[in-house]
Amino acid sequence: MELKSLSERKRRTFLRYLDRLGKAKDEDDGEAESGETKRKPTNWMEEAEKRLELLKLRVEKDGGDDDDKDDDDWDDFGSSDEDLSDIEINEKQSKMRIELVILGSLVLSTSVVGNAYYQKKQFYPSVVHITKSNPSMMVMYIQALVIVVLLGKLMKKIFFGQLRAAEVEHLIDRSWYAITETCLAFTVFREDFSTKFVALFTVLLFLKAFHWLVEDRVDYMERSPIISWLFHFRVTSLLLVLGVLDWHFIQVAYYATLTQGASVQLVFGFEYAILLTMVAMVTVKYALHTYDINRENPWEDKAVFLLYAELAIGFIKVILYMMFMLIMIRVYTLPLFAVRPMYLAMRSFKKALSDVILSRRAIRNLNTLYPDATAEDLANTDNVCIICREEMVTGAKKLPCNHIFHATCLRSWFQRQQTCPTCRLEVLRAPGNPIGNPAPPAAANVRPPQQQAAPSPPPPQAANAPQAVPVQPPLPPFIPPHHPFNFPFPMPNIPQQAGANDVRYVPDANGQRPVMPPPFSLPPFMPFVVPPPRPPANLGALSDAELRAMEGQERRHLEARIRVLRDIQTLLDAAVLQMNQYGILVARLEHESNNNTETVRSTGEEAPVASGQQAEEQQPGVSATSSPVENEVLTPEEETNLSDQERLRRRRVQRFMNGGEQN
Amino acid sequence: MAGSALRRLMAEYKQLTLNPPEGIVAGPINEENFFDWECLIVGPDGTCFEGGVFPAKLTFPTDYPLSPPKMQFTCEMFHPNIYSDGRVCISILHAPGDDPLGYESSAERWSPVQSVEKILLSVISMLAEPNDESGANIDAAKMWRDNRAEFDRIATRIVRKSLNIPL
Ligand SMILES: [Zn+2]
Ligand SMILES: [Zn+2]
């Protein structure tokens, strides 16, 4: 077998180091002086020589059929002999202690039972005698506990064989938490406290331990190339037994709650329901692993199946915990003992959810953003996927940096990070493609002009709009040409009016131009020069990635719109300011005209306007609106002083004011 | 077919054993479980760790090579970048974003391009040139900076201990 020859080579390399070690020792022997140090090197040398001989023998034999012994040698290496013997002694001692406890409890319980039977001579009276006496009950409890432990050991032997160190460690960790939580649960159910109660909790803990172990064992399947039929037999039978037991206890709890009302059985029913979800998850994992192992070629979708299974079962668990919490709070009190596991369940559900989302995103990006590697691409590289170190034949993807990987390998990597594994280019943040690969932003795919080869003027694409705006300096940066229809009021009128008023007023001011702020240098707006907006694309037809890319662009558009609205607000403010100034101006003009009515001359420009004005003035509607205002401003004496011309002029101003307000 | 992590580990094992780089031997402790490795690292020549043969163990996650393995020396070590319990703290063993000491740029972080061989070679160069900026063992980092003679003395002791030579 290939592995054998590999371990043979490993041994050979190891041997080289042993030689080196031996050399170092020889050098040292020359230096060693004191008698004390002399004694130890001999020990060490013997040991090293023993090992060397052993290994040389094996290497020469070229067989290596006694693997176990080799592994022992490996394990020993690096740890000194004293430590080893300590561990051995400890193990022996603890084994002896356990045997002593078992024997002691057996002796005690038989003596108690024997004593009772000796006194009472009959079965029932002796039972009563034992239950009435506290010390004898204590002995019986200890005996029961010992039997449970022995049963556990037996089941462990049957279903697991030897436990691995990691499994034992994990088991001990989880047991401590479980025991603490059980003690917390006892505080809630102080009234129900009885032998049966304790026994039920012991059984629960006992079964929990087996659930944890089978979970670890199934996870181990991924780590080992050698899965024996015994392994399959053990796992399937254990899963079956645990599932049946969980179901049985759920039923018991259910009927007990139905017939006797809420009791501690609520907790048991709930705990076994949680354990049942665990059995379900382990079964799914086991089935997936088994299927994977027995396939001829790699199974790429296994990770996805696992993700969804975890998500579904995590969801069920969270629901169960929430229901349990609610019921417990209504019937008893907040079940503190369930808070930690509930938190853990929620956390793992959240993780499963984010994993699913990340995985979906990774798949989407792979499908939309990166091209498949062509045969030519593959031929140009060494054709090995750096993630799995296997050859790429089909299903390879090329990233913008020209690195090529298996699509499935990339998918699982993108679930963790969105970088190229080789050069760490941030692939998702580089949609612009500095290296010039054909990975256009997804939204662009929707629009046909993208594919045109001729370098025509850039089509008004959503992608171009935000960049195009700041490029044109005279154009204010607040008009995305894409959305002229978004102006809710006749935007262009504001500047035109302001400009017109300005022109008309300068001569009026008669050289003394009123101190006005420059009329808000308004650029020529051309909202209708740009083509009308295209009808919105059919969103339903877009893929998720396209939608996402579009979403990003829509966001930019929205920001542009908000900017436009802000600028409009500024414009409006400016317009209001101008209006106020006109008002002030009008008041001042009136004042001026009162002071020197006769000196005011009409300029040449004004005359035609005035005559035109006169004609308008004949219309009753206009004069009717303007005259009351005029009357308000002017006192009767003043009015008599006004020349006709001046009156006309005033009316014009007045009318203008009204017109401005109407706008 | 075995999972992709297992297949990659087997490939790396094969590669490492057929073409072992100088100063490194590594492989699974038990070939029934490819996710727990042991390795021997030889102290680089011309440094205070010269000649030492240091055993360490590598623990791989199930999603290897997407996540980095953990490395822990199983012998006594005294080095600025090795915790007192033997855990090795170098940037190649951390995924970007997971930054216990905050000194490392993401360029030298874990990615599937790395391998057991590259890790062990980095560890050898770490033995040769400790990075006293990111101190996993503050005492060692201080001593490396301020009292090199004492550091060398301790290193020599550790080398001898690793070779089972009495002090
Ligand atoms: Zn691959
Ligand atoms: Zn790259």
B89 is an active site residue: yes
The answer to whether the CB atoms of B32 and A389 lie below 8 A apart is: no
Q: Among residues A515, A523, A625, which one has the least CA distance to residue A578?
A: A515
Cβ of residue B62 closer than 8 Å to a chain A Cβ: yes
Interface test with B, best of A5, A72, A217, A222 (most B CBs within 10 A): A222
Single-letter code of the amino acid located at A159: F
Least Cα separation, residue A269 to chain B (angstroms):
33
Residues of chain A with pLDDT under 70: 1-88, 428-552, 592-663
> Looking at chain B from residue 79 to 98, which residues have their Cβ under 8 Å from any Cβ of chain A?
95-97
The answer to whether the CB atoms of B33 and A223 lie below 8 A apart is: yes
What pLDDT is stored for residue A19 in this prediction? Answer: 64
CB-defined contacts A:B, below 8 A: 140
What pLDDT is stored for residue A53 in this prediction? Answer: 54
CA atoms in the 13 A half-sphere facing the CB of A580:
9
Per residue in B34-66, pLDDT (tens digit) is 899 988 888 888 888 888 888 899 999 988 889
Q: Distances in Å between the alpha carbon of A466 and those of A568, A600, B145?
A: 18, 54, 55
Q: What are the φ and ψ backbone dihedral angles of A454, each rounded to 5 degrees?
A: -65, 135
Ligand nearest to the CA of A423: 2
Looking up tokens 């059984």, which residue turns up? A203
Q: Is B151 helix (H, G, I), strand (E, B) or coil?
A: helix
Interval between CA A388 and ligand 2 midpoint (Å): 16
Cβ of residue B8 closer than 8 Å to a chain A Cβ: yes
Contacts of A223 in chain B (CB under 8 A): 6, 33-35, 62
Contacts of A298 in chain B (CB under 8 A): 1, 4, 7
Neighbours of ion ligand 1 (CB under 5 A): A 385, 387-388, 406, 409
Q: Among residues B18, B56, B55, B14, which one has the least CA distance to residue B31?
A: B14
Q: Share the mean pLDDT of chain B.
A: 85
Interval between CA A410 and ligand 2 midpoint (Å): 12
Least Cα separation, residue A342 to chain B (angstroms):
25
What pLDDT is stored for residue A87 in this prediction? Answer: 60
The answer to whether the CB atoms of B66 and A48 lie below 8 A apart is: no
Residue B167 lies in a domain: no
Nearest to B8 among A24, A32, A388 (CB): A388
Contacts of B40 in chain A (CB under 8 A): 14, 17, 77
What pLDDT is stored for residue A196 in this prediction? Answer: 82
Ligand nearest to the CA of A413: 1
Cβ of residue B33 closer than 8 Å to a chain A Cβ: yes
β-pairing, B70-73 with B53-59?
Answer: antiparallel
Q: Share the mean pLDDT of chain A.
A: 70
Cβ of residue B118 closer than 8 Å to a chain A Cβ: no
Cβ of residue B59 closer than 8 Å to a chain A Cβ: no
Least Cα separation, residue A318 to chain B (angstroms):
25
Ligand nearest to the CA of A435: 2
Contacts of B13 in chain A (CB under 8 A): 6
What CA–CA distance (Å, rounded) separates B56 from A50? 23
Nearest to A421 among B40, B106, B112 (CB): B112
Contacts of B1 in chain A (CB under 8 A): 292-293, 295-299
What CA–CA distance (Å, rounded) separates B86 from B78? 9
Q: What is the sign of the dihedral through the CA atoms of A293, A294, A297 and A300?
A: negative
The answer to whether A585 and A505 are in contact (CB under 8 A) is: yes
Cβ of residue B68 closer than 8 Å to a chain A Cβ: no
Q: What are the φ and ψ backbone dihedral angles of B100, each rounded to 5 degrees?
A: -70, -25
What pLDDT is stored for residue A6 in this prediction? Answer: 62
Interval between CA A391 and ligand 2 midpoint (Å): 18
Ligand nearest to the CA of A402: 2
Least Cα separation, residue B78 to chain A (angstroms):
16
Ligand nearest to the CA of A398: 2
Question: Would you state the structure tokens that stand for residue A119, as one six-digit string?
Answer: 């006194």
What CA–CA distance (Å, rounded) separates A105 from A312? 47
The answer to whether the CB atoms of A44 and B113 lie below 8 A apart is: no
Q: Beta-carbon neighbour count of residue A219 at 10 Å?
A: 17
The answer to whether the CB atoms of B113 and A409 lie below 8 A apart is: no
Residue B153 lies in a domain: yes
Per residue in A305-354, pLDDT (tens digit) is 999 999 999 999 999 999 999 998 988 888 888 899 999 999 999 999 99
What pLDDT is stored for residue A313 in this prediction? Answer: 95
Coarse DSSP helix, strand, coil percentages of chain B, rounded to the nearest 5 percent: 35, 20, 45
Cβ of residue B76 closer than 8 Å to a chain A Cβ: no
Nearest to B112 among A47, A224, A413 (CB): A413
Which residues constitute the domain of residue B67?
Answer: 4-162
The answer to whether A351 and A368 are in contact (CB under 8 A) is: no
Q: Is A150 helix (H, G, I), strand (E, B) or coil?
A: helix
Q: What are the φ and ψ backbone dihedral angles of A596, each rounded to 5 degrees?
A: -130, 70
What pLDDT is stored for residue A85 in this prediction? Answer: 54
The answer to whether the CB atoms of A75 and B29 lie below 8 A apart is: yes
Nearest to B1 among A75, A293, A419 (CB): A293
* Active-site pick, B39, B48, B75, B89: B89
* Residue in B closest to A296 by C-alpha: B1
Share of chain B above pLDDT 70, in %: 91
Least Cα separation, residue A407 to chain B (angstroms):
13
What pLDDT is stored for residue A596 in this prediction? Answer: 56
Per residue in A451-506, pLDDT (tens digit) is 334 444 444 444 333 443 343 344 344 434 444 344 444 444 444 444 444 434 43
Interval between CA A401 and ligand 2 midpoint (Å): 5
What CA–CA distance (Å, rounded) separates B128 from A431? 42
How many domains does chain B fold into?
1
* Residue in A closest to B28 by C-alpha: A7
Contacts of A64 in chain B (CB under 8 A): none
What pLDDT is stored for residue A323 in this prediction? Answer: 92
* Residue in B closest to A68 by C-alpha: B30
CATH number, domain of B108, equals 3.10.110.10
> What sections of A189-228 are H helices per DSSP?
195-220
What CA–CA distance (Å, rounded) separates A56 from A70? 12
Cα A264 from chain centroid? Answer: 37
Per residue in A444-459, pLDDT (tens digit) is 333 333 333 444 444 4
Contacts of A390 in chain B (CB under 8 A): 7-8, 11
Residue B143 lies in a domain: yes
CB-based burial label for A297 (10 Å; 0-12, 13-18, 19+): exposed
Contacts of B164 in chain A (CB under 8 A): 21, 25, 44, 47-48, 80
Question: Would you state the structure tokens that stand for residue A524, as one six-digit string?
Answer: 């020529």
Question: Would you state the structure tokens that stand for residue A623, as one six-digit string?
Answer: 């004069």
Nearest to A78 among B5, B63, B74 (CB): B74
More confident residue, B118 or A450: B118
Least Cα separation, residue A549 to chain B (angstroms):
26
Cβ of residue B138 closer than 8 Å to a chain A Cβ: no
What CA–CA distance (Å, rounded) separates A418 from A424? 9
What pLDDT is stored for residue A301 in this prediction? Answer: 82
Q: What is the sign of the dihedral through the CA atoms of B89, B90, B92 and B96?
A: positive
